[in-house]
Amino acid sequence: MSDPVGFKLWSFTGKIKILHLSWMAFFITFVVWFNHAPLLAVIGDSLGLSSSEIKTLLILNVALTIPARVLIGMLTDKYGPKLTYSVILFFCSIPCFMFAFAENFEQAAIARFLLGFIGAGFVIGIRMVSEWFPANELGTAEGIYGGWGNFGSAAGAMSLPAIALFFGGEDGWRYAIALSGLLSLIFSFIWYFNVTDTPKGSTYFKPKQTGAMEVTSVGDFWLLLVMKLPMYGALALLTWKLSPSGVGMLSDTMAALAYLSLVALYIVELKQTYKVNSHVFSKPVDEIHQYKFKQVAVLNILYFATFGSELAVISMLPLFFAEVFSLDMVYAGLLASLYAFMNLMSRPGGGWLSDKFGRKKTLLILTAGLAIGYFAMSSINSSWPLILAVLTVMACSFFVQAGEGAVFAAVPLIKRRLTGQIAGMTGAYGNVGAVVYLTVLSMVEYQTFFIVIALTAVVGFITLLFMEEPQGTITEVREDGSLELINVS
């Protein structure tokens, strides 16, 4: 762990250099991941897509990120952020190019489904930043990483329509999206040759076993299995949406096979989880090595409501403004980008507030605020002055994104060697929320959609009452067998 030598944000050396390169990598993943959102109307016209097919693309875009974040979390813990981020930036440029040159719904759908993998990049930087910053700066650093990186979706919303217009013609959108893929490809090399996994002389702690998350009690083992279910449920929901009951992209037989595959995968994961954690049933884990999985479970639920709603809202907000206020898509995209624009300050703000006033207290206030914010958004209609609607959206956005910053101010303080996996699972819950919310959106009016999000935030507030404030130290074992105590308060 690097020593706190001041937070000189505008320097480009040491831990600050790592922070800047980390948010840049994350920024690029979000530009690529949501490069379709501000161009949906043009893409729909170009490919002849129906409204239902457009909404299906939105769901497909976030579906694969659910298992991808869990997998990438494990790979990050095992191989380190340097290699893992480089690989994901390099290979995810390929489906980006595929989408840019798609000729029909099926090709676009496959490409968007594969592009969900780039959304897992976020997890990698969480582990990288936690290696370089001490506990008293970690919330702020993770908030800057998440907020400035998350701004990639807003930057894309503001710039990609203009780039498409610059190229002009009915293929302008293709060039704009292809350029974002090229940016990802180039930065994969910049990242690899400019970062290290830890400061010089520090130990990179790896999980004792890979293949499943470690827990340290019998009760936590069962809670882990329960918390896995919503991730499979979200994938089952996606399968239903693609079946003949939804858009008909899958036949009844293919849908049935997908359901059976999800059941089989859960059984395999159950066995693997038991294999990794069977020792907790025969011998208690030493107290100094224990951690409470309920901390992870609470953060999962909060991220479902915060990041899940953000993913869903930034996907649909340009269409919402265009339809409710009869705006053209370029103007609607610019207004909608203000929701994500708030990430620049609100997510770092949430991390900073957590550093100053405590993780739990900050999360309670922010979760209450986002519930109120979405209830307010549910009442927006064409009779509202446009400026008031935009201000309401931005106010709600502050609480949503500050809440995300506060969640990931707590994630790295649970168990260092499992930070990638914990971040992966919590991040995956954000995508579970997005799939659920976007599926709800495909069946109800905008107002009901916002009310559903607000109600889940209320549930998150209730579960947050069971969270414990991180205090003291967490213990990790070096390769030579000696112990290292890492401060978390």
- For the ranges 4-18, 218-232, 349-363, which has the lowest average pLDDT? 4-18
Render pLDDT for 17-50 as a digit per residue (tens, 0 to 9).
Answer: 999 999 999 999 999 998 998 888 889 888 888 8
Q: 287-300 pLDDT, tens per residue?
A: 888 889 999 999 99
Q: pLDDT > 70: what percent of the chain?
A: 97
Weakest mean pLDDT among 129-143, 375-389, 464-478? 464-478
**Tell me, what's the pLDDT at 3?**
39
pLDDT at res. 319? 83
Query: What is the pLDDT confidence band of residue 483, given thresholds at 50, 70 and 90?
Result: low
Quote the pTM value.
Answer: 0.84
pLDDT band at 85 (very low <50, low <70, confident <90, very high): very high
Lowest pLDDT segment from 172-181, 237-246, 383-392, 462-471: 237-246
Mean pLDDT for the stretch of residues 375-404: 93
Q: Give the residue carrying structure tokens 């958004």.
A: 377
Q: Mean of the per-residue pLDDT values for the chain?
A: 88
| pLDDT (0 to 100) of residue 464 | 94
- Residue 175: the pLDDT is 94
pLDDT at 364 over 60: yes
What confidence category does residue 480 fall into, taking pLDDT thresholds of 50, 70 and 90?
Answer: low
- Give the mean model confidence (pLDDT) for residues 301-306: 95
Nearest to 130 by CA among 471, 460, 477, 412: 412
pLDDT confidence bin for 2, thresholds 50/70/90 = very low
Q: What is the mean pLDDT of residues 214-218?
A: 91
Under the banding of pLDDT at 50, 70 and 90, the label for residue 97 is very high
* Highest mean pLDDT out of 278-287, 341-350, 479-488: 278-287
pLDDT digits (tens, 9 = 90+) for 230-247: 999 988 988 888 888 877
**93 — pLDDT class (breaks 50, 70, 90):** very high
- Residue found under tokens 């206020």: 325
Question: Over the stretch 433-451, which tens digit does the pLDDT of each residue have?
Answer: 988 998 888 888 899 999 9
Average pLDDT of span 119-135: 91
Going by pLDDT thresholds of 50, 70 and 90, the confidence category of residue 1 is: very low
Q: Give the pLDDT confidence score for residue 5 in this predicted structure.
A: 41
Looking at residue 16, its pLDDT comes to 92
Residue 193 has pLDDT above 80, yes or no: yes
- Best CA proximity match to 309, nearest among 378, 229, 235: 378
pLDDT band at 8 (very low <50, low <70, confident <90, very high): confident
pLDDT for 308 beyond 80: yes
Q: Give 207's pLDDT tier (boundaries 50, 70, 90).
A: confident
**pLDDT, position 479:** 66
Residue 360 has pLDDT above 70, yes or no: yes
Which of the four pLDDT bands, split at 50, 70 and 90, describes residue 4? very low
